Amino acid sequence: MSHPATRFETLEVSSESGVLTVAIDRVPQQNAINGTLLAELHTVLDEAERLPGCRQVVIRGASGVFCTGMDFSDAAGSPQSVAERGGAEFLGLLKRLTTVPVVVVSVVDGRATGGGVGIAAASDFVVATPRAVFSLPEALWGLLPCCVLPFLIRRVGFQPAYSMSLSTLPLTAEQAYRIHLADELAAEPELFLRRLRQRVSKLDGATIAAMKRYQRDLWFLSAETERAATDEFTRLMSTPEVRERISGFVTAQVFPWENQR
């Protein structure tokens, strides 16, 4: 199996021994999520489904940043498009990570912020290196991590998800491991990835698909949850306070919390 033919704008993709590795590569934009990144991640998952022996997708960041969530500047002037991208489109990606019939592993080696925490939370496994930092600063913008929370709650339980989003305080790798936001804490993620691949390569794609479907069905979140998540995000994005903070950031690079006190 050689490198896939597709060219990507926001990702570095390679494949080896049934494992497709994706590095998010928008370093000048702190690996923030724009429409292209969302579309290209779907393309990679399409390829993973098509490649006959592929059982594992590994998502990485670059240069000490995993992913810092929605790119506000990308959608300057159109809060509508940010609302859609951070709402239904982003939720669609997270949902796909939890249903695609391959094992998805996020390797967080640096900052994971907002939607970046969502990508990790929706992954089947998360490996954090000692320099990983996880945070949900949405509330400081007057927003909530609407689409992240359903996946974060299923991963870490109610209270850790709640306290993280209400306090907005960052979590170290150790703290993330303590609450099971990271399944493994490792300076060398390759050891765990190899150990996992040895097991996962022995599974049928159909078994992985059945596992994901069955466990999703056992959990209490539903299609109604998804509607609630995107509705709440759309509502918040349309408030004057949030619009003002985003445009202040886009035009003058002022973070909302620098404006106060």
Instruction: Give the residues lining the site for a second copy (CB under 8 A).
Output: 103, 124-125, 139-140, 142-144, 146, 149-150, 153-163, 165-169, 179-180, 183, 195-196, 199-204, 206-208, 210-212, 214-215, 217-221, 225, 228, 232, 236, 241, 256-257, 260-261
3-class DSSP state for residue 234?
helix
Q: Nearest approach, Cβ of 209 to a second copy (angstroms)?
A: 11
Q: For strands 171-172 and 133-135, give the pairing.
A: antiparallel
How near is the Cβ of 41 to a second copy at its closest, in Å? 21
Are 229 and 150 contacting, i.e. CB atoms less than 8 angstroms apart? yes
Q: Which amino acid is at 92?
A: G
Q: Least Å distance between CB 125 and a second copy?
A: 6
Residue among 125 and 249 whose Cβ is closer to a second copy: 125
Tokens of 76: 């300057």
Tokens of 158: 């109610």
CB of 149 to a second copy, least distance (A): 6
Calculate the alpha carbon distances from 95 to 220, 225, 238 in Å.
15, 12, 24
Q: Which is nearer to a second copy, 166 or 252 (CB)?
A: 166
Least CB distance to a second copy at residue 6 (A): 27
Contacts 24+ apart (CB under 8 A), 119-123: 119/59, 119/66, 119/67, 119/93, 119/94, 120/66, 120/181, 120/182, 121/94, 121/148, 121/151, 121/152, 121/154, 121/155, 121/156, 121/181, 122/93, 122/94, 122/95, 122/97, 122/98, 122/151, 123/59, 123/97
CB of 261 to a second copy, least distance (A): 7
Query: What is the CA angle 133-134-136, rounded to 5?
Result: 140
In the complex, minimum distance from the CB of residue 109 to a second copy, in angstroms, rounded to a whole number: 20
Which residue lies nearer to a second copy by CB, 172 or 225? 225
Q: What are phi and psi of 68, to 5 degrees?
A: -110, 20
